[in-house]
A = this chain, B = another copy of it.
Amino acid sequence: MKPAATDIAAVMDAGGPHLGVLMARVEDRLRTIAEPAGLPLSEWAGGTIAAGGKRLRPLLSLLAAGGPTTGEEQDALVRAGVAVELLHVATLVHDDVLDAATLRRGAPTVWAVAGRSAATTTGDFLFATAFAELARNDDPDQVKALSAASSGLARGELLQRADAWDASITVERYLERCELKTARLFAAACELGELAAGRSPALASFGLRIGLAFQVLDDVLDVSGPTEATGKHRGTDLLDGTITLPLVLARRADAELAALDPRSVVDSEAAERVCDMIARTGALEEARDYALALVADAKAELPARLEPSTRAALELIADGVANRGA
């Protein structure tokens, strides 16, 4: 079971039949986009695409487009949603290689099925396909938005590795990492939807805030558990050397944590003990409050021009993010 999160059915209801039709087109295209590449590539790419989850990013693109759209705008929107999801899936495939992960959402990873080389190359193929799909929209601004998010993702990943085991990182540095690793693609998803529908971008900051909140709450969940909700032991980030907001905040309140060398945490029992210490400082509430404030700001900032149904659906997505770890 995954953490409580966005109720996709409720979002689809709120967004109206129009949204359902477009999401079905995104799914159709995602299912078939790798086929021309032939076997086995289409199978590897398709497997991860199919296991990819809730399609939060394409959903943001479709909703960010706002009210009624022309047939041509709908085609462009579908491509934007497909492109943003493909980029996301490309990073998942590479992450699975780097983490030597055998399962993703219950399905075997490309790394597990086909090995390191094939998985690295499958990820590269998905990256290229994302840009190929988006280029069909004939709008350089959309390509700029996606490539900026894509280079941000890589920079965030590298920042995280550069910061590994360093418990003295600042809150600002941690947030910069979250922005690069997670939030910018949420922002790009919104921006692409607006651009594809011929609107001037106004929702990027909504995407950025809920993306940041999404990552912060993910990091809180890793410390708070419960393991039944997350499907993994508490403290896996710590064991990986990834220092996140709860520890950064808790070190201010607890001298023992401030003195802790993360490398001394070598097994899951030790990690659980540190998680308990972090929890006792109130750092989890502080981090959660920070994320909830981001979500509240995101909702408050939604532009007045939005149709009520679109606004309701975007608010449900924001609430779903806030509910992670609630």
Contact = CB atoms under 8 A, between A and B. Distances in A.
8 contacts: A117-B157, A118-B161, A121-B154, A121-B161, A125-B151, A127-B127, A129-B151, A137-B140
A33 to B, nearest CB: 10
Given A123-B124, A124-B157, A128-B150, 13 more contacts: A38-B155, A41-B155, A98-B116, A98-B120, A121-B158, A124-B127, A127-B128, A131-B131, A135-B140, A135-B144, A135-B147, A140-B143, A143-B143
Nearest to A150: B128
A-B pairs, top 6 by smallest CB distance, nearest first, are A125-B154, A128-B151, A128-B150, A132-B147, A131-B147, A135-B143
B131 A150 contact: yes
B131 A143 contact: yes
A148 B124 contact: no
Interface of A: 37-38, 40-41, 91, 94, 97-98, 116-118, 120-125, 127-129, 131-132, 134-140, 143-144, 146-148, 150-151, 153-155, 157-158, 161-162
A304 B158 CA distance: 49
A122 B155 CA distance: 8
A138 B158 CA distance: 29
Contacts of A151: 37, 125, 128-129, 132
Given A132-B151, A143-B135, A147-B131, A40 B124 contact: no
Contact of A97 (B120, B134, B135): B120
A254 B132 CA distance: 44
Nearest to A137: B140
A144 B161 contact: no
Nearest to A98: B117
B124 A153 contact: yes
Contacts of A157: 117, 121, 124
A263 to B, nearest CB: 17
The CB with the most chain B CB atoms within 10 A, among A38, A118, A158, is that of: A158
A158 B41 contact: yes
A314 B88 CA distance: 40
A127 B158 CA distance: 15
Nearest to A40: B162
B140 A138 contact: yes
